[in-house]
A and B are shown apart, each in its own frame.
Chain A
Amino acid sequence: MTSDPAPPADGPTRAPDAAADRRLTCRAEREQWQRRLRLQRQLHDGASLRISALVPQLGVVRTRVPDAQPDLDASIEGLQDQLHTVLQELREIARAIYPPVLDEAGLGPALRDHAEHTDVVVRVDVGPERFGPAVEGAAYFAVTGCLAALPPGSPPVEVSARREGDALVLVLSGVPPRSAPVVADQVCGLGGEVTTGGAPEGGTIEARIPCG
């Protein structure tokens, strides 16, 4: 997830193929998000499903353990617990690659679910509209990256996202504007622009991401 910290300014003196370059970068970035989405689905449909299927099978084995062997029953139960731990770790990895809720339900539900895992109170104002895997992925990780950079005990943050013409406009309020590069890292590859304003500790970061 590396990209240029900020997009080069578009001046009138730029070479004529700058626009073509940008289109190429955008396409590569969109393909990158598609790859991440596929990997996440593969993790779910393959390894995770096979591991969860082992748990009831072990449960059946437990019913055949003679009453006289409580140790054996306890060891199988221990194995089942360990499989749950493995699955929880796979879920964390899936979330880091491309959150399943983002894929299935969109930006609003995914950000609200994320807010349950953060220490800082996050208010989410995002409608049900869908914007495609690349734009939604970039917006989601821009927000979560920004939240992760907040010091513990920070005041509540507000996140809104809405369509304006052919762009998704993402606004974070109550965040330090110095976190803007975290947002830029995610959205600039897709041709997005980031602006900031307000106080050093409680300002706003706004990103406009073209979404066609």
Chain B
Amino acid sequence: MRVALAEDGALFREGLLMLLQAAGHEVVGSVADGDALVDLLAGEDADVAILDIRMPPEPDGGLVTAERLRELHPDMGLLFLSHYAESHYLMRILEIGTEAVGYRLKEKVGSVEVLTDTLGRIAAGEIVIEPVLAKRLVERPRGDRKEAVDTLSPRELDVLRLMAEGRSNNGIAAQLFVTPKAVEKHIANIFSKLGLQEDGSEHHRRVLAVLTYLRSQQERR
């Protein structure tokens, strides 16, 4: 796989670069800030760009750089690495894109197997979320949302499944041959059945709904 890397900590950047090479990936460039990454990728193609969230341009250059990259290269996967796994950053990442994105702790991509698996899933279009964070989101505030997925009607499950694939309301409507208004109504029912209160933004609840669903699927396998 072709990978580009931007990280301002020289020690970690060098370590990750060596690990990527040891895993047999082609590193098209390794730079220390977001602007240099955008410049690099203007001339080089990559399957996935790896970005440190907290790097220049300050304060969270990884996020602003990723927005530019998504605009310039919509098919390029984005892997965010951070020292913190916090839902605040996850929500901001999912505002940039809900396909081919990943958010992981720096020290959790420290083996060839995990690194390659994470990059592969992102390149295949999946959302990869640090497991400790996904678990916390789905289990809070009460650990009963998973069972709640079983109370959804078949049509609501269809809608939730398409949400999990990263589709918009209009996309879901087209797929199911219903009106966008009907999709909104299904989504409102899903939020209510999953106990997602109105204190969060629509986007926040959408993500929680998707995470709940993803987790219930994982446990059925």
Contact = CB atoms under 8 A, between A and B. Distances in A.
B19 A56 contact: yes
A168 B20 CA distance: 48
Contacts of A19: none
A44 B15 contact: no
A166 interface: no
Interface in B46-91: 54, 59-60, 83-84, 86-88
B199 A123 contact: yes
A122 B18 CA distance: 44
Nearest to A86: B107
A101 B112 CA distance: 30
Contacts of B140: 115-117
A53 B12 contact: yes
Contacts of B19: 56-57, 59-60, 63
A26 B137 CA distance: 38
Nearest to A57: B15
Nearest to B11: A53
Contacts of A48: 83
Contacts of A62: 111-112
A7 interface: no
Interface stretch (A10-18, A104-112, A129-137, A141-149): A104-112
B136 A55 contact: no
Nearest to B15: A56
A91 interface: yes
A49 B199 contact: no
Of B9, B19, B108, B137, the most chain A CB neighbours within 10 A belong to: B19
Interface string B90-134: 000000000000000111111110010000000000000000000
B16 interface: yes
Given A56-B16, A59-B112, A60-B15, A80 B107 contact: yes
B137 A116 contact: yes
Contacts of A50: 11
B12 A113 contact: no
Given A56-B15, A57-B15, A80 B83 contact: no
A59 B11 contact: no
A63 B112 contact: yes
A52 B199 contact: no
A83 interface: yes
B22 A60 contact: yes
B197 interface: yes
B154 interface: no
B110 A59 contact: yes
A77 B107 CA distance: 12
Nearest to A49: B9
A49 B88 contact: no
Interface in B1-49: 9, 11-12, 14-16, 18-19, 22-23
A113 B88 contact: yes
A84 B107 contact: yes
B107 A104 contact: no
Contact of A56 (B18, B105, B199, B200): B18
Given A80-B110, A122-B141, 4 more contacts: A53-B15, A56-B18, A63-B112, A101-B84
Q: Which 6 residue pairs are nearest across A and B when measured between Cβ atoms?
A: A55-B110, A56-B15, A53-B11, A109-B88, A53-B12, A55-B107
Interface of B: 9, 11-12, 14-16, 18-19, 22-23, 54, 59-60, 83-84, 86-88, 105-112, 115, 136-137, 140-142, 197, 199-200
5 contacts: A44-B83, A50-B11, A80-B111, A113-B87, A121-B142
